[in-house]
A and B are shown apart, each in its own frame.
Chain A
């Protein structure tokens, strides 16, 4: 680089003796016109050519570029017109508006892109320039000087020498370091044992999800079907439904012949009396990571979680036959109430949903 700062600064200084002026003094000499003289001292090969090699071709390109920019202008007007003119507020109207706005905006942007690209390719003279790289490492002298001052500064700070002050400072900041963690404590309540229980309780009616109507075994008598059940009293409570949702499956007589014992902690529970009329109720919350197990294949009696394809055998206590879930779906013990509707005999006898550390 040929312009050294001192010489250019001198030029900017202006006349040595300030002239007397009346009123506001004139501003400093303009920067860019001044520096043009400095650049002129550079060797010619470092300078950019003023015009491209083929001016006639550039002239032609300019007309094309101008046409493209006019197109962008017109499309831009179209965009504004589409915004003003086209209504929304219904699905069809929205799609119409989206098409008009999107199409016009696409044309504006793509035309601006194409015009800009043609501009740099055809109007600007083609050049290739070269720059030296400079070692990023500082010189040994600079490093030494830095180190020297850093050591001096460290010494002057007395941090090394004043042990009492240093240690008490560290002591003072220690509680501050845990303050953010403490402050985040109220983000939520502690889980306690809430993950072990749902709102199902003895006698609570099973309601059909969607219609919220109670169900008797006689109403649910089509073997092979599966429906989703929500607990009476909590049909709109998402927090409770996230644990308490249940699937109900009706079998042909004789299909449901396998009643595996279920483990709750260290106790084993028989499940023979948990069904009513070949109707069995399983938790709908997958034991893998909690997606609703929503798919049921009638012929194989497989319950499938659509998220990660954990597959459970409905005839065998929903034991896992494929996929990442490690535990069968918990089963809700069923019975009927005095009016003949299906109700829970009790809560689930084990925690529903994904595994957790305290589950055991």
Chain B
């Protein structure tokens, strides 16, 4: 036996045997090693988030070795001489020590902060990719919901993390948090006093945020990432439409050795990019802000980008407040703090189920949609991005006003209008563009693509030569699936049976949604056109037959 396969070193096969004796792993592990990973650039976005999280754990552990999560007052005497003699908390003092007295401390601190921002950017980009390709559809709805929870936790984790140094900038953020909590009806003042251990700022918030930041929230994030990955492995990846890709297969390269090597390369690239940023792009120089005091503030105070939507919502909202029966409800705090972000996240969470309801589509989907082939979804996604983006940009309205030399209030008024108009216009525009692109696909399938070759015919006329699409381009262009038209509300079929979507309000709403979802372009009339092969004067060059044997691979 040992003579037939000498390639495996004894140590490895011995260890493998030892493990298999105990875990019966040969079969399952072999399947896992052979697991197919489809290849597409956009599939790397989620990986960026994953590797950023790993880097956050590594750098965060280093920082925790030196950070002192205490708000006890000390007088600073240290390497950053400009703050000598200043009263500050131990949290701020130890952050200065990490930055100026621990070798590599500043680098690790800046890697940690950049990695947190990259983590959030990557989740955002990954969610946008998943949304626009419809990868959240059955059977992957649960992973979509986990993703939304991860993003929310990431916001909270980031807020607590950048508030830990107890510097002037982040303290202003906590003050805003306190103001928002205090504004909650009935329980607000209690909530604020419990959160801060008494009046703001107190001396409890840093140690409390610390334990949430280093243990509870990352623990939950880690558990959810694990679940996210296990579900993904179990359900197998989605894949992009392409020649030979079907709903019932998955094509790509195996996990071992290909994906391991690629994942390793990607990890090093991401880590390397973060170190480049940490080296050359200063982030959160807390020593310049000084220790926190509720008396002072600097202008152009912006939170990290993922909190920008909250900041912008607070800035854009008009002054609405109700006083009645001796009570105050401050809508100008409550609505901006809860509604816009609630709309985006709740909308995102409900969308897969809304889409199933509107389309009646309960099938599983392993081939991703091209965004153009789902105009309503794509338009809704773009509208949501514009809504989010306007509020996000408004979070820096003072910086924009300063850079563009436009009055501050003008910027805010533009945002107040754009937050409604922007999504509506972009929805309409995106839907038109999607339908136009569908039309282009249909035309190309029927007549071939415009080759750019101009040819003069014997009769003197000029034509542009249309070339038939390649097999792989055809497979992509023809990937659109019609959304089934549900019987309209209250309609009666040939047997006199009423449509299950009743004539009630909900039934009519479903009918309307369904007719929006089913809107598509009509297939191009190809009668007599010979599918782009010459008879109509398109003079397809070198096209043999357009018949496509499914699954024949031409690369």
Contacts and interface: CB of A to CB of B under 8 A. Distances in A.
Interface of A: 1, 3, 5, 8, 27-37, 48, 83, 86, 88-91, 94, 97-99, 101-103, 105-106, 108-110, 112-114, 116-117, 119-120, 124, 127-133, 136, 184, 187-191, 194-195, 209, 228, 230, 236, 238-243, 245, 265, 284-285, 288-292, 294-295, 306-310, 320, 322-327, 353-360
A30 B434 CA distance: 58
B199 A354 contact: no
Q: Which 4 residue pairs spanning A and B have beta carbons closest together?
A: A102-B279, A289-B179, A30-B13, A113-B268
Contact of B300 (A48, A98, A306): A306
Interface stretch (B253-261, B383-391, B479-487): B253-261
B189 A357 contact: yes
A124 B257 contact: yes
Interface string B26-47: 1100110011100000000000
A295 B99 CA distance: 31
A95 to B, nearest CB: 8
User: A8, A291, A327, A355 — which one has the most chain B CB atoms within 10 A of its CB?
Assistant: A355
Interface string B322-362: 01001111101100100000000000000000000000000
B414 to A, nearest CB: 14
Given A188-B198, A320-B319, A324-B318, A89 B79 contact: yes
User: A128, A265, A325, A358 — which one has the most chain B CB atoms within 10 A of its CB?
Assistant: A128
Nearest to B295: A245
A128 B193 contact: no
Given A245-B294, A307-B172, A353 B179 contact: yes
B235 interface: yes
Interface size class of B (residues with CB under 8 A): 35 or more
Interface in B1-53: 1-2, 4-8, 10, 12-14, 16-21, 26-27, 30-31, 34-36
B294 to A, nearest CB: 4
B105 to A, nearest CB: 8
Interface stretch (B153-161, B270-278, B535-543): B270-278
B249 interface: yes
Contacts of B364: 136
A352 to B, nearest CB: 11
Contact of B251 (A28, A128, A191, A322): A128
A145 to B, nearest CB: 21
Contact of B328 (A114, A131, A310, A357): A357
Contacts of B327: 357-360
Given A129-B253, A131-B250, A191-B193, A242 B4 contact: no
B176 A291 contact: yes
A260 B73 CA distance: 41
Given A128-B252, A359-B328, 11 more contacts: A32-B17, A97-B104, A130-B249, A228-B295, A230-B295, A239-B199, A290-B200, A292-B294, A309-B398, A324-B336, A325-B332
Contacts of B179: 288-291, 353-354
Given A109-B271, A306-B299, A326-B321, A236 B87 contact: yes
Given A27-B18, A102-B107, A132 B249 contact: yes
A355 B183 contact: yes
B315 A309 contact: yes
A36 B249 contact: no
A88 B102 CA distance: 7
B182 A308 contact: no
B490 to A, nearest CB: 33
Contacts of B197: 187-188
Contacts of A30: 2, 8, 10, 13-14, 16-17
Given A130-B249, A133-B247, A288-B332, A116 B176 contact: no
A184 B190 CA distance: 12
A103 B332 contact: no
Contact of A32 (B8, B34, B36): B8
A31 B20 contact: yes
A32 B15 CA distance: 9
A326 B172 contact: no
Contacts of A360: 323, 326-328
B320 A112 contact: no
Contacts of A34: 1, 5, 13
Given A191-B193, A306-B298, A358-B327, A242 B200 contact: yes
6 contacts: A37-B5, A101-B103, A129-B34, A184-B194, A228-B296, A294-B296
Contacts of B251: 128-131
B520 interface: no
B476 interface: no
Contact of B99 (A94, A131, A132): A94
Contacts of B320: 326
B500 interface: no
B201 A242 contact: yes
B253 A241 contact: no
A325 B179 CA distance: 12
A127 to B, nearest CB: 6
B275 A102 contact: yes
Interface in B269-304: 269, 271-273, 275-276, 278-280, 292-301
